[in-house]
Chains A and B, each alone.
Chain A
Amino acid sequence: MPISVREASGKMSNSYHFPVLPGPDSKLVTIEVDGAEVQVPEGTNLIEALETVGIDTPHFCYHPDLPLAGNCRQCMIETDGPRGMGLAIACYTPVRAGMKVATDRSSEKVKKARAAVMEFQLANHPLDCPICDKAGECTLQENYMKAGNGHSRMREEIGKAYHGNPAHRTVDSKGQSRGGKHVDLGPNVILDEERCILCDRCTRFMRDVAGSEQLYIADRGDRAYISVFPGTQLDHPYDLCVTDVCPVGALTSKHFRFLQRVWFLKKTESIAADDSLGANLTIEHNEGKVWRLMPRRNAAVNKSWISNATRLSFRDLETGRLERGRTDGHDVSLEDAFAKAGQILSKARKVALVASGHLTNEDNAALLALAESLGEKAEVFGGSWLPVGTPDGISRSGDPVANRKGLEILGIPDNLDDLVRRASEFDVLVVAHNDLWGAAPEKARGLEAIAQRIVLSPWVNATVERATLSIGIRAWAEVRGTMVNCQGRIQLLQAAPIAPDERLEPAWQLLSRLSGERWSSEIDAWKSCQARVPALAALSYRTIGRSGQLLEVA
């Protein structure tokens, strides 16, 4: 996946370059940290190298997927230079063989320098935590607990002061100068200027990753503040990523602020199911409801970014769901719908089964197993009529069929047009989560020649409307399974306990019950995938892990 923006910005000036991160083939060298010898990857930035040996360095401005800025000065360490041991910032110091490093564990000087930076950082930072959305996941809070003084020696007459945008300055009831609250930057993001610690991450994201310099830092000194250019707004398809990189509560999302305290949120690690890159993300939910989707770092896939479209796709999980069965224009219970489907299949003369790239490999394996149980009278079709876009170079491939590659490795052909041509041969059609009528109504009209149309779908859509029998199933955030992204990387989806009705079944379960196999968990379905695809034989959910595995066949 080409990241063209990154290369372009590197040519303009020497001032911004990306950190060197440890990779699987980095050469290890020995350095001395706090008097002990450790092996770390050569040439990487020290802050990352220390991380590999379990030493955590507090920082604000450093981000592995953004160019280095070195301006927060929190990651101070001591290292040996031409003039002996001296303070340096760990994010900008490259690892050299034999270098000596002292962290806060052995150096009082480092400890004092970090505490001093914390003190300066908080000199004008408001004590907003009780009303701040970032509280609980705030880097400033975390670093203060690690490196702060534990008490304040600031003078009460001096107080805190907001010197930023003159148009936003006010004086509060205690006579302190405050301001910059609730500045509307655009359709998605709200800025709180007085909470900003000017780490520059958001402006670097917009300039060097998003490639659209919509944010900048105006003015200088302690009067500096983040702003959009006059007459413009922050409205980039990735602008919500600035709320992730913001280490404090300065940039918050209009779609999340004031809705939940972050410590109530449970986290389920999954991937995006709306695009074939399969951006890694975390489903954050509480009491059966998803409150937000957050990007999950995967250096090989989406780095630390997800698009606004992916991020806001959680809203679909609770709207327009097909929670029951539906036949002849009226609702039936899921069990009745299932029983009816069994009767239709048992009486069928010839069945066309349509697999889907929106389903997991496990679901599609169950579909194949159903086809096998039906024997000669069943035929499997696959593919999608949805238009394919172009990659944006950040976290989307442009192909909305998330598991297209998965269909390929299971040997399911892309032959929907064949199905339309041969529609008259079939008397039963089974469509598993594939919105054929929504994607191409003219083509799909040909399928109406098939008398019995059974549709499995998490949502009510055009295909459900045209079905003679439809059955609700679980959506992507509610199932466990695997998908293969456009790079050929098999990745894991995990089930968050958020299904609108707990009687809804995952597609593989419904299909395996129809086939009479009665698989007891998705592991059975996974074993069926492994039996079909030799490349999967050596893998398990555990070895696929958080960041997926590149498949050799794909």
Chain B
Amino acid sequence: MSQFPKILTGKFGKGAADIGVYKSLGGYSTIGSKLFGLSQFEVIDIVQRSGLRGRGGAGFPTGMKWSFVPRNTGKPVYLVVNADEGEPGTFKDHFLLLENPHQLIEGMILCGWALGVRTAYIYVRGEFLDCIESLNKAIAEAYEAGLLGENIGGSGYSLDIYVHRGAGAYICGEETALISSLEGRKGQPRLKPPFPAVSGAWASPTCVNNVETLMAVPWIFENGPEAYAKIGTQKSPGTKVFSVSGDVKRPGVYEAPLGTPMIELLEGEDYCQGIVGELKGCIPGGSSTPVLNPEETRSVTLDYEAMAAAGTMLGSGAIIPFNTERSLVGMLKTLTHFYAHESCGQCTPCRDGTGYADRLLTTMCSGHAREGDVDFLTDLANNFVGTTICPLAAADSAPILSYVKKFRSEFEALAAKNPERAAPRLDAHFRPGGFW
């Protein structure tokens, strides 16, 4: 394994949640004349040169996102940190917020200066009570140390950070739904355009970034964008924190440079130390990403481009390998139930499509599977993808389509077990093209 700096998890286990410890480990060194001597455009330029990409799932270049935020509109610019970590299998932000909250605050001050932010929000998933406690403590410490509030470090720049607790909806991880929820409305995604960068919270320019993204920024400042760009691959620079769960010997949160082979993460001595049982497949980036079969799992590397080439996504970095004892249909049923439960109910295809897919899978698993059900299921999934406001329906359709494509025999075996599998369907009496 090659050597690399642990940018995000390096301060784990050292008590860095305390501001004294964090400072003694070199924290907050960027906040001072080093930052305030730079213009806003120079700060954005540094981030752009580092090649940092958003860690929330889509991998959009962070510097470019910051450059889209308009200036001098007469409206305040808001920074919103997306800490509504809800993707099944993802638990990295939880540990980052718990162990290293000051690094997020430092990243927010850097971003705040770059965008001219006066007020910033951290939208934390409602269930993360311990994170909210650690964040509130860290923010109080930062205020006391003069790193937040009025006139930071005598620079004339002021920034306030508020922690907003979510109310337990997966969809509020989508940025426009998050903004609606932050405004006090029902957490439902909005039609785009306008995009949040132009008209987000309270119809003002808003920058929404993931926790991990902002936590990488202080290191980039300290060591220079070129040093950051050297880690990882050329198009996907830097390190990423992966949450590994499922059938591995040592599940947990691991930081690795982008471009690391997935199999190294699963079997490497420094990481998960091997699969339990025989590998059957792997969910590579959170439950909404298409599944990989064993060959793909062994060959793919962990960066945005290689994942896209394998027909899947790096997503939030939630890796779930599973062994041959797992039932794919059962897994899919659980996942689909999750998405049907979390659909916000706005768009028809998602609201009724995921719900129907959920009930169809439940019927199939309870011994009533019939011939043709698999095709019906995939057709439903094809019908609710790409026709909705936000990608939640697509997040359900991707696993359905990939599970069926790669493990079709398991679905068909269910129908073979049902003695009434060929019972006539209602539409057998239908005359195509007839009035009814």
Q: Are A73 and B340 in contact (CB under 8 A)?
A: no
Residues on the A chain within 8 Å of B183, using CB: 13
Q: A158 on the interface (CB 8 Å rule)?
A: yes
Q: Are B186 and A217 in contact (CB under 8 A)?
A: yes
CA distance A151 to B384 in the complex (A): 19
Q: Distance (Å) between the CB of B179 and the closest chain A CB?
A: 9
Q: Which of A214-262 contact B (CB under 8 A)?
A: 217, 219-224
Q: Are A121 and B352 in contact (CB under 8 A)?
A: yes
Q: Are A219 and B427 in contact (CB under 8 A)?
A: no
CA distance A76 to B348 in the complex (A): 12
Q: A275 on the interface (CB 8 Å rule)?
A: no
Q: Which of A111-119, A468-476, A539-547 contacts B (4 or more CB under 8 A)?
A: A111-119
CA distance A15 to B347 in the complex (A): 15
Chain A's interface: helix, strand, loop or mixed, by majority?
A: loop
Residues on the A chain within 8 Å of B340, using CB: 221-222
Q: Are B345 and A217 in contact (CB under 8 A)?
A: yes
Q: Are A156 and B384 in contact (CB under 8 A)?
A: no
Question: Per a CB cutoff under 8 Å, which of A12, A68, A221 touches B341?
Answer: A221
CA distance A113 to B347 in the complex (A): 13
Q: Which residue of A lies closest to B202 (CB)?
A: A13
Q: Which residue of A lies closest to B204 (CB)?
A: A14
Number of interface residues of A (CB under 8 A): 45
Residues on the A chain within 8 Å of B346, using CB: 69, 71, 198, 200
CA distance A154 to B359 in the complex (A): 11
Residues on the B chain within 8 Å of A15, using CB: 180, 185, 190-191
Q: Are B348 and A73 in contact (CB under 8 A)?
A: yes
Q: Are A158 and B203 in contact (CB under 8 A)?
A: no
Question: Per a CB cutoff under 8 Å, which of A12, A68, A76, A120 touches B384?
Answer: A120
Residue pairs across A and B with CB atoms within 8 Å: the count is 129
Using A119-B383, A220-B169 as known contacts, say yes or no to A71 and B347 having CB atoms under 8 A apart.
yes
Q: Which residue of A lies closest to B430 (CB)?
A: A151
Question: Per a CB cutoff under 8 Å, which of A87, A161, A219 touches B345?
Answer: A219
Q: A404 on the interface (CB 8 Å rule)?
A: no
Q: Are A120 and B383 in contact (CB under 8 A)?
A: yes
Q: Are A116 and B383 in contact (CB under 8 A)?
A: yes
Range of interface residues on B (Cβ < 8 Å): 35 or more
Using A15-B180, A116-B387 as known contacts, say yes or no to A221 and B356 having CB atoms under 8 A apart.
no
Q: Are A14 and B194 in contact (CB under 8 A)?
A: yes
Using A152-B426, A158-B360, A221-B343 as known contacts, say yes or no to A124 and B352 having CB atoms under 8 A apart.
yes
Q: Which of A389-438 contact B (CB under 8 A)?
A: none
Q: Which of A170-224 contact B (CB under 8 A)?
A: 197-198, 200, 217, 219-224
Q: A70 on the interface (CB 8 Å rule)?
A: yes
Question: Per a CB cutoff under 8 Å, which of B344, B388, B430 touches A221?
Answer: B344
**C-beta contact mask, B385-396 vs A, less than 8 Å → 1, else 0?**
011110000000
Q: Which of A144-175 contact B (CB under 8 A)?
A: 150-158, 161, 163
Residues on the B chain within 8 Å of A198, using CB: 345-346, 348, 351
Q: Which of B173-222 contact A (CB under 8 A)?
A: 180, 183, 185-186, 190-191, 194, 199-200, 202-203
| B contacts, CB < 8 Å to A | 169, 171, 180, 183, 185-186, 190-191, 194, 199-200, 202-203, 340-349, 351-356, 359-360, 363, 368, 370, 373, 376, 383-384, 386-389, 425-427, 430, 432-436
15 residue pairs of the A-B complex, CB under 8 angstroms, read A13-B203, A14-B190, A71-B346, A72-B348, A113-B383, A113-B387, A117-B348, A120-B348, A120-B353, A121-B348, A157-B363, A198-B345, A220-B343, A221-B351, A221-B354
- Additional 17 contacts, C-beta under 8 A, given A14-B203, A117-B387, A150-B430: A13-B183, A71-B348, A71-B389, A72-B348, A73-B347, A113-B387, A119-B383, A120-B383, A120-B384, A121-B352, A123-B355, A155-B370, A155-B373, A158-B359, A161-B359, A217-B345, A222-B351
